[in-house]
Amino acid sequence: MRELTYISGGQRSGKSRYAQQLALGMSASPVYLATARIWDDEFRTRIQRHRSDRDERWRTVEIDRNISDLGRHLLPEGLHIDGEATSNSDRGITEAPDSPVILLDCITLWVTNFFSDAHGNMDSAMEQIIAEWDRFALLDIRAIVVSNEIGMGVMPDNELARKFADLQGFINQHIAGHAQRQILMLSGSALEIKGAPV
Give catalytic residue positions.
50
Bridge partners (DSSP) listed for residue 189: 186
9 is in an annotated binding site: yes
166 is in an annotated binding site: no
52 is in an annotated binding site: yes
Q: Three-class SS of residue 80?
A: strand
Q: Rounded distance, CA 23 to CA 130, Å?
A: 24
Q: Three-class SS of residue 171?
A: helix
**CA-to-CA dists, residue 68 to 38, 145, 173, angstroms:** 21, 14, 19
| Cα three-residue angle 98-92-110, rounded to 5 degrees | 70
99 is in an annotated binding site: no
11 is in an annotated binding site: yes
135 is in an annotated binding site: no
19 is in an annotated binding site: no
Q: Which residues are annotated as a binding site?
A: 9-16, 34-36, 51-54, 62, 105
Q: Which residues are part of a known binding site for GTP?
A: 9-16, 34-36, 51-54, 62, 105
